[in-house]
Amino acid sequence: MTYPVTYPPPVRALRDPMPVAPVAYPQMLRTPRSSWVRGLLMIVSFVAAYLLVSTVLQGAAIGWDVARGSVSLNDVLAMRLDLTPTLLLAVNLSNAAAIPLSMLLQRAFFGQRGRWLSSVTGRFRWRVLGRASLVALPFWLAYLAITLVAAPESVRAPSGTYLALLVIVVLTTPLQAAGEEFGARGLITRGAGSWCASPRLALLVGTLLSGAVFTLAHGAGDPWLIAFYFAFAVVLSLLTWRTGGLEVAVLLHTFNNLVAFGSLVLMQQDTSTVFDRGAGSAGPSVLLPGVILLLSAGALWAWASRTGLQRTYVPGPASAEPAWPGSGPGVPQSYPPDGPWAPGAGVPQAYPPLQANPPGGPWGPAGAPQAYPPAAPWGPAGAPQTPPSAAPWGPGAPQSYLPHPPGATNPGAQQAPATDGSRPSSPGAPQA
C-alpha cells in the first residue's frame, strides 16, 4: 500500500555565478548563468562605456590645453595633436578606468565578483607578478639599452615638459597597461569564452575577438603597426591562459609602454609623432620590440610550467550556492533520490507523488529506504523487527502481535496454561 507524501512546491535551482566544473581563465564566465546574449551585451556595454569615459577625460584635457595656449584650436580641429602632460595623464587615467568598469560589468551581467577577473584564484597574485618581473626584466632592459645606444647623441636629461611627461609615465603607465589588460584580455576574452563549451574554441574565439578590439582601439593604419598590435594581443592572451591570470600580461604590457615612452622622453623626440599611426608611420623597426616580447614571453612560459603555476579554476564549497533553500554543506538533505539535485541544475524538480511509507514514519534517516514492521515496533525506530515466536495469551497479557486476522487459527502457537484448571487448548484452536 502506498501513502501520499507532501513535498515543498518545485522551485528553480539557484544559478551559481561561478563555474560548476574546473575551467581555464577564458571560460570563467561559462557558468549556469551564462548565455550568448549576456556575453555580447557585456562586451558592447564595455566598449561603449570605455569610449564615453575616454571622450570625456581626453576632451577635458584638450580643452584645458587650448585654454592655456599649449595647443591651438586649429591644430585640434585638424587632428594634429601634441602629447602634452595633461593629455597623457587623461589617456592613462581613461585606460585605468577600465579596471573598475570591467569588474562592475562582470558583476552586473554574470553576478561574479570583480576579484575573479584578476585570476582563477579570485585575487591579483602580487607574488606571481614579482617573480615574473625578475624573469622578464632583463629582456626589456636590454631593449631600452639597444634603443638608447643606437642614437647616443639624442639622449639628454629631461627637463620642463619632458620631465613632467617622465613623472606621469612612471606613475600612471602601470595603471594604464593594467586597464587595457583587464578590459581586453579579461572581460572581452571571458565574454567571448562564455559562448563556447569547448575550452580550445573558447581560447581561440576569445583571443581573436580581444585582439581585434585591442588593435582597432589603437587606431593603427600602418600594416606594420597593425601586425604588431595584433601579435602583441595574441601573445598576451596565450600567456593569460597559461598562467591563469592577468598578472604576467599586465607586467609585459607595462614594460613595453615604459620603454616606449621612456625612450621618447630620454631622447626628447617630437611628441607630435606619438599619435601618428597612419600608413608609412612605422616600418621594420617594430620587429625589435616584437622579438623582445617573444623572448620574454617564452621565458615566462617556461617559468610558469616549471613552477606549476595554477592555471585552472577549481570549484569549492565556498563558491557553490545551494540548489535548495536551507541546503548546503553540513545541512541534512531530505530530497527524494530522483534528482538531479546538483547546484545550478536550473530545471524544475519533479517529485514522486507517492511514497510507500506508513503515515506514522519515518522509520530511519530522512530520504533513506524505509523499513518498518507490519504492526507495532518491537524495538527502536528503524531497527529490524523480530516478533516473538511465542507470547503469553493469558488474561491481561499484552496482545500486540497478530500475524493473522482475529478469529483465525494460529497453528503452532504455544499456549499459556489455563487459570481455571482446564487443559490448554490444542494447536489450531481459536484464540480469544
Q: What does the pLDDT look like over 75-125, one tens digit per residue?
A: 888 888 888 999 999 999 999 999 999 999 999 999 999 999 999 999 999
Residues 120-171 pLDDT 10s: 999 999 999 999 999 999 999 999 999 998 887 778 888 788 999 999 999 9
The residue-averaged pLDDT of 292-299 equals 97
Distance separating alpha carbons of residues 144 and 241, to the nearest angstrom: 28
- Cβ burial 28-38 (10 Å sphere, 16+ → b, else e): bbbbbbbeeeb
pLDDT for 399 beyond 60: no
| Residue whose grid cell is 514522486 | 352
Sign, CA dihedral 406-407-410-416, equals: positive
Distance of CA 60 to the CA centre of its chain: 36
Distance separating alpha carbons of residues 41 and 34, to the nearest angstrom: 12
Distance separating alpha carbons of residues 349 and 13, to the nearest angstrom: 8
Tell me which of 71-80, 205-214, 389-398 is least confident. 389-398
Distance of CA 211 to the CA centre of its chain: 21
Taking the C-alpha atoms of 117, 119, 120 and 123 in order, what is their torsion angle to the nearest 10 degrees? -90
- 41 touches 178 (CB < 8 A): no
**φ, ψ of residue 264 in degrees (nearest 5):** -60, -40
Ramachandran category for residue 407: left, alpha or beta (phi over 0 → left; psi -120 to 50 → alpha)? left
Higher pLDDT, 306 or 279: 306
Sign, CA dihedral 58-59-62-68, equals: negative
Closest listed residue to residue 24, CA positions, set 300, 304, 307, 243: 243
- 257 touches 173 (CB < 8 A): yes
SS3 401: coil
User: Which residues, at least 6 apart from 367, have a Cβ–Cβ distance to it below 8 Å?
Assistant: 333, 334, 335, 336, 337
Q: Which helix (H) or strand (E) holds 297?
A: helix 287-307
User: Which residues, at least 6 apart from 121, have a Cβ–Cβ distance to it below 8 Å?
Assistant: 244, 245, 310, 313
- 136 touches 250 (CB < 8 A): no
SS3 201: helix
Distance separating alpha carbons of residues 5 and 165, to the nearest angstrom: 76
- 277 touches 220 (CB < 8 A): yes
pLDDT for 355 beyond 80: no
Residues 30-78 pLDDT 10s: 999 889 999 999 999 999 999 999 999 999 999 999 998 888 888 888 8
- 265 touches 161 (CB < 8 A): no
Residues 15-29 pLDDT 10s: 779 999 999 999 999
pLDDT for 334 beyond 80: no
Closest listed residue to residue 174, CA positions, set 240, 260, 92: 92
- 209 touches 192 (CB < 8 A): yes
**φ, ψ of residue 313 in degrees (nearest 5):** -75, 135
Using the 8-state DSSP alphabet, how is residue 397 labeled? -
Residues 404-421 pLDDT 10s: 444 444 444 444 444 444
**φ, ψ of residue 93 in degrees (nearest 5):** -70, -35
All three cell numbers of 224: 606594420
pLDDT for 427 beyond 80: no
The pLDDT assigned to 344 comes to 41
